[in-house]
Chains A and B, each alone.
Chain A
């Protein structure tokens, strides 16, 4: 019985004209995404290789490792980032390597090529997030109330059909009607990807597989929501309108406004405010010091040089103490600000997660390794390399470098040997491991499953008392 209803649903949906259009657009967009992604990846790879070559070229001709002061490491482009962009184009890709101290990443893709910022939307996340959810609505907004309006619901329930079976068949049928055909362009896209010379590791394939499954789970959330709405309203026109409003809220408004809302709820002091506070403290400390300066008395040795030296050391100690207090205060302020920021981010994410669209984009970015953690991970990797680099330099030059010293060396008469750039250990970037990505994505995948469950349960309960006449 269930199979019969699923079959009927499949045949009815696939036979309808709207399906041909829907599927065509979806398939085209998916293929286009893979194509554009592969192109973009190849371009990034070429740039990356050019940058590496240039980096190496700068070492050539140098005769002493001491002269090396512009060694840089780069975030290599990841093929999956071409499909799930995440923040991969926003993080700085270049780090100027130094022997010690904090590293900073610069030169994001969008910074270099603002044109990419304009086209940022065409990736798999966008196609799934926006297009697939719309099509879920289009396919299922009249699942139940449409059949009643057609009059077929009554004839169906003139037979011994359990309502549970019917609504289950409806949902499964509609789901299969789009998901199964969509596997074709997805597989074609994967083929296209590897044919265009983008090589995915087995780990990448696994990630991509889970990303696509998550996409279908997201589709399911909107599908079950559409079915639910078609049991709540009596006219398909009404459920369509309601769903459109929900879609705009969930896909367009909520992910954005939650950041604003969280900004309202949790105050984070601005940089200016911090600077203000610091300036006030500095002025106050200065006034205090001025007071103690007035009170300064040398110990009457009568010698002006002695007094001068004494005054200088007195001033120095005042200044040291001032700096120390200023630093402590600045540290405290920064920490407070950071904690506030973390709190704000957390609240924003919590609010935004009420929308399946947010859950979906967070999950896929985590799976693809392009979530907001990418920057931290890259910096951590680079910091790991920093140690190797410093050790190497220490070995070669006999001193710990921080690249800010002027060096003089005595040179003998003989012609100096050029250094061999290949000796410098290479920076081997390792993306965050698959398990970490999956773990980070799991809560959002779980939420998506929960959305499916809640909406289906709602539709199920509503349908038990639905008037089939």
Chain B
């Protein structure tokens, strides 16, 4: 039965690339409104591939990804209206200022009602210092770009946010503030799917955690279930080859 609270859903998602690498193997999970799902996993485990399928950047070889019930590869435009995206390495127009970039991508996302002060406010919220707001992106550090990317995602105000290692490049303070931000967004009712390598932060903020290995989701547990466990040990165990759910 379809749970009306489910915003994001992967159903037996498989992806085999042209060079026959099986990047995803029957991955299934759901993310509800007001829930944060953190995906952990080694490099090459299939996290980015999963997110790419939600945006229809690639089509699944089998199975399907759904956003609010919409199958992404069947109606990608409708699905993408409901999704915001933060990539692991945010790239914006280098010749535009932070505000200009925000303005363009907000409009592209269908929001035409923002004013300059809204942009300033969001940029301050993600921790970008005021004097950088009207500077061209060309001179920005990776962390500063990342903050802009997060601002773009917030401004789109979509019901679901997909983040691929969003904290890569953020300094510790910004990383901490980012987790608080995620918490606020969850409380606003957003469904959040995040891939990360940061076990501790994941445990801190996520409602549910999945571990991926070689294209398989080898473990999925709620935050409550994990509260008593040592996630780091668990992660290492699964990486070492454990498959049965503990």
Contacts and interface: CB of A to CB of B under 8 A. Distances in A.
Interface in B85-133: 85, 87, 89-96, 100, 104-105, 107-110
B57 A468 contact: yes
Interface stretch (A9-17, A104-112, A259-267, A385-393): A9-17
Interface in B55-69: 55, 57-58
B93 A161 contact: no
B77 interface: yes
Contacts of B12: none
Nearest to A149: B91
A150 to B, nearest CB: 6
A271 interface: no
Interface string B187-216: 000000000000000000000000000000
A151 B57 contact: no
Nearest to A4: B107
Contact of A155 (B52, B107, B110, B152): B152
Interface in A123-165: 150-152, 154-162
B95 A155 contact: no
B89 A151 contact: yes
B105 A155 contact: yes
B146 to A, nearest CB: 12
Which of A4, A155, A156, A468 counts the most chain B CB atoms within 10 A?
A155
A160 B85 contact: no
Contact of A158 (B55, B96, B107): B55
A469 B57 contact: yes
**Which residue among B78, B92, B93, B96 has the maximum number of chain A CB atoms within 10 Å of its CB?**
B93
A215 to B, nearest CB: 28
B52 A160 contact: no
Contacts of B46: none
Nearest to B106: A159
B220 interface: no
A175 to B, nearest CB: 19
A159 B57 CA distance: 11
B96 A155 contact: no
A8 interface: yes
Given A150-B93, A150-B94, A151-B89, A162 B105 contact: no
B52 to A, nearest CB: 7
Given A468-B57, A469-B58, A150 B91 contact: yes
On chain B, which size bracket covers the interface?
20 to 34
Nearest to B162: A158
A469 B52 contact: yes
Contacts of B80: 157-160
B91 A151 contact: yes
A295 B75 CA distance: 102
Contacts of B90: 151, 155
A150 B101 CA distance: 14
A430 to B, nearest CB: 54
A160 B104 contact: no
B168 interface: no
A4 B105 CA distance: 10
A158 B83 contact: yes
A155 B152 CA distance: 10
Interface string A365-383: 0000000000000000000
Contacts of B77: 160-162
B95 A152 contact: no
A157 B76 CA distance: 10
B93 A157 contact: no
Contacts of A156: 105, 108
B96 A11 contact: yes
Contact of B91 (A4, A15, A16, A152): A152
B149 interface: yes
B70 to A, nearest CB: 11
Given A4-B108, A160-B81, A155 B55 contact: no
A1 B84 CA distance: 18
Give the one of B83, B89, B90, B91 with max A CB within 10 A: B91
Given A157-B55, A158-B80, A469-B58, A8 B104 contact: yes
B108 A159 contact: yes
Nearest to B83: A158
A91 B94 CA distance: 54
Nearest to A156: B108
Contacts of A152: 91-93
Nearest to A15: B95
A156 B152 CA distance: 11
Given A469-B52, A469-B57, A159 B109 contact: yes
A469 B51 CA distance: 12
Contact of A12 (B81, B91, B95): B95
A152 B89 CA distance: 11
A159 B105 contact: yes
A318 B85 CA distance: 100
A16 B85 contact: no
B20 to A, nearest CB: 17
Contacts of A158: 55, 80, 83-85
Nearest to B56: A157
Nearest to B58: A469
B147 to A, nearest CB: 14
Contacts of B52: 469
Contacts of A159: 80-81, 105, 108-110, 156
A12 B105 CA distance: 14
6 contacts: A155-B92, A155-B149, A157-B57, A158-B80, A160-B80, A467-B57
Given A15-B96, A155-B87, 20 more contacts: A1-B108, A4-B107, A5-B108, A8-B93, A12-B95, A12-B96, A150-B91, A151-B87, A152-B91, A154-B87, A154-B91, A155-B91, A155-B149, A156-B108, A158-B85, A159-B156, A160-B81, A161-B77, A469-B52, A469-B57
Interface of A: 1, 4-5, 8, 11-12, 15-16, 150-152, 154-162, 467-469
